[in-house]
Structure 1
């Protein structure tokens, strides 16, 4: 619904409605949309500009390491900035940087440019995460974020690899420019999103309780390990498929369809939220992730390759909203959400960077093994904070204590 009962120049959507979740999803995706087309980006640099696989991986990781830096800065800046003008400025800078990137053919220069781009985008994502954390149901909003990312990312993965041979790598950056521009048009219609006064883990005075520092740190590292494991494998999934003899057209179609099917995971989060807590869905989803990653070892069969992408795609879209929402539960200003964005981007950057160091001559089994190890570490890190939050939020919502809106 649209709220027109305000003095704003533009009508704004209801701050906690479904349409607001969509707009916030676009805002938070814009700074990091290249992650959703990362396989197309890496493959496009290899085929379109003749970069080595290692150089292409370094460009991709530099983009996300820059995003990690931007997200880290956002943790300290969000309390002192008005989010709306900050988001508009960041989007305009992103568009300019993507225009410049489309003209660069040198690996080193492009790596530097993408690091700067990532820093700006990461700051924007940190701002977006902080705003999402101020909604009534951050987990559901993060679920919508994944719906948008996977839906549009699926389009990108299906068509962009096929367009690079025809139009060059510029088409990759034009896609990013278009997304930022559309998001820019949405910003005026978003609500104000003032910080929350209290959360489930606040003490009686409304402040954060220091006793929860350990589970918070564990939750942040769970985000890091999960993102590193998934992106390290995803960045080279097109090249992995080629190493098994699959054709580019078949791989890109498979990835696009798998991404769309993976939206199921985000839809489940958006629809269910935390009705069953966080521990049960997290543990079940992580086990399925390991199974899906192991299936990549048998990618010579198109059906198995498709199944592996579907399983890992669904679990990725299903689990990351819970992990990010888990971190968001620790404060009402959105600082911990922004900090989780930093750890997320460090993971998204570290995965491709580590994979680039070990890929060598198509050493994809090692990449798969490292990805499985990362998911296991995520499982160990997530268990305690998820269980604690389930216990605390159950007490927080108890009838004798009331439910804070």
Structure 2
């Protein structure tokens, strides 16, 4: 066991192919439920006969667990062996999914999903931290997004058939097995940050109000994502579109999401950073506007595909902006926590406002939050622009 965990003096080159593959696999496992959440919610409603509101609360409970561990991980990451932390997270995620099998009582299911969320949130957090240590961190962060979205695209496509053939329990057993299989990769992970003390380059001094506004903008943006994503599948079926057709549209949107992330990798800062970011956020609001009411097939397809493309196009820029505020990465760590907090509270807000399947109200709230996010982010972007202009550097 000691050899398996290694000591903090154990040297693992995180830049090797096998270590990067290990981090990528565990990162996808951590996101295995969230990225398929719309279809899981549909399964809770269609197969276990929960109400739309109750299904939203169950999804929100898991996201609360995800967010809680993301926050706590920031405080313990340098105190505990990283492999041990990963083992704990794998155990929680696997146990939570197994304990969810066969459960139809909402209170028991919520507790099991919180447990799964605690594990998955830890896996997401620690893999992002590890990938941030690699020499080509920008590329490797993008690879996480691409791998998660590829899994999501395949999962959204097959989930309706899996639900029909094996029910919700079959899906949960798969999630448990997926999380447990991460044990095969723990030995290839570093035990700690393994970094020498480095001199941090001087960066511009940004005021706390500017940083706070920016973080609030990140929170508003991710609240909007959480509100929209959880009921995306049900918006389509409520509009009269067949389940498999909705699944196919969501699959196509995942593929476009991959394209959005890859576009950032290809162009990086060729067109700057701030204009594409604001355009992506406002464009996301317009995309959700296409889903208001009971959208026909074409409007639903355009709205969902544009939303997913712009979501994954915007996120790398958001984290790049946060990184420019603080060369030590504290703003990025806070951003990851706020992202998961937004994903947690978003479904809860949507569930509370849903009423009689009033998806128009839910999506309108999301649109408002997108606009609020752009407004809150703008002052920080302007301050960074002025710094770049003064120093002659590119944003």
- Tell me the TM-score normalised to structure 2 length: 0.87
Q: Is the 8 A contact 1:140 1:270 kept in 2?
A: yes
232-241 vs 322-331, greater mean Cα deviation? 322-331
The CA deviation at 1:137 is 5.5
2:244 is the alignment partner of 1:249: yes
Q: How does 1:354-373 map to 2 (within 5 A)?
A: 354-373=349-368
Q: Do structure 1's residue 52 and structure 2's residue 47 form an aligned pair?
A: no
Do the aligned partners of residues 199 and 187 (structure 1) sit closer, same or farther apart at CA in structure 2, a change above 3 Å counting? farther
Q: CA deviation at 1:123?
A: 2.8
Q: How far off its partner does 1:380 sit?
A: 1.1
Instruction: Check whether the contact 2:28–2:151 (CA below 8 A) recurs between aligned residues.
Output: no
* 1:320 counterpart = 2:321: no
- Match status 1:30 vs 2:25: no
Does structure 2 retain, via aligned residues, the 8 Å contact 1:99–1:173? yes
5+ long unaligned stretches in structure 2: 1-8
After TM superposition, the structure 1 stretch with the greater mean CA deviation from structure 2, 345-354 or 387-396, is: 387-396
Task: Give the structure 1 partner of residue 152 of structure 2.
Answer: 153
Give the Cα separation in 2 of the matches to 1:334 and 1:179: 30
Provide the residue aligned with 1:171 in structure 2.
170
Instruction: Answer whether contact 2:15 2:134 (CA < 8 A) is retained.
Output: no
Distance in 1 between residues matched to 2:104 and 2:38, nearest whole Å? 19
Deviation at 1:246, TM superposition (A): 0.8
Map 1:276-315 onto structure 2 (within 5 A).
276-297=271-292, 300-315=295-310
Q: Which residue of 1 aligns with 2:121?
A: 122
Q: Is the 8 A contact 1:216 1:330 kept in 2?
A: yes
| Stretch of structure 1 that moved more, 287-296 or 28-37 | 28-37
Change (3 A) 1:199 1:30: farther
Write the deviation string for residues 26-77 of structure 1: whole angstroms up to 9, x where unpaired.
4334333311011011111111211111111001001111111111111211
Deviates more, 1:320-329 or 1:286-295: 320-329
Question: Is the 1:64–1:345 contact (alpha carbons within 8 Å) kept by the matching residues of 2?
Answer: yes
Give SS of 2:376's match.
Answer: helix
* Structure 2 contact 200–328 (Cα < 8 Å) conserved: no
Task: Please give the per-residue CA displacement for 1:280-323, whole angstroms capped at 9, x wherever unaligned.
Answer: 21011112112211111265421221111110000111111222
State the Cα RMSD in Å: 2.9
In structure 1, what is the Cα distance between the partners aligned to 2:73 and 2:388? 27
Deviation at 1:138, TM superposition (A): 4.6
Aligned to 1:14: 15
Deviates more, 1:99-108 or 1:346-355: 99-108
For 1:396 and 1:156, locate their aligned partners in 2 and report how far apart those are by CA, in whole Å.
47
Q: C-alpha separation between the residues in 1 aligned to 2:214 and 2:21?
A: 26
- Whether contact under 8 Å (2:93, 2:118) holds in the other structure is no
How many angstroms apart in 1 are the aligned matches of 2:81 and 2:388?
A: 30
Which residue pairs with 2:331 in the alignment?
336
Q: Which residue number in structure 2 is paired with residue 206 of structure 1?
A: none
Change (3 A) 1:327 1:398: closer
Residues 248-301 of structure 1, C-alpha deviation per residue, up to 9 Å, x if partnerless?
111111111221122101111223334444212101111211221111126542
The residue that corresponds to 1:219 in the other structure is 214
Measure, in 2, the Cα distance between the counterparts of 1:326 and 1:84: 30
Cα distance in 1 for partners of 2:138, 2:373 equals 18
Partner of 2:3: none
Within the alignment, does 1:228 sit opposite 2:223 as a pair?
Answer: yes
Moved more, 335-344 or 67-76: 335-344
Aligned CA distance change for structure 1 residues 152 and 330 (closer, same or farther; 3 Å): same
Structure 1 CA distance for aligned equivalents of residues 355 and 52 of structure 2: 9
Q: Is residue 91–residue 119 contact of structure 2 (8 Å, CA) maintained in 1?
A: no
CA 1:338 to 1:123, structure 2 compared with 1: closer, same or farther past 3 Å?
Answer: farther
Q: Is 1:103 aligned to residue 98 of structure 2?
A: no
- CA distance in structure 2 between the partners assigned to 1:330 and 1:27 by the alignment: 29
Task: From the superposition, tell whether residues 91 and 274 of structure 1 become closer, same or farther in structure 2 (CA, over 3 Å).
Answer: farther
1:287 alignment partner, SS class: helix
Counterpart in 2 of 1:80?
79
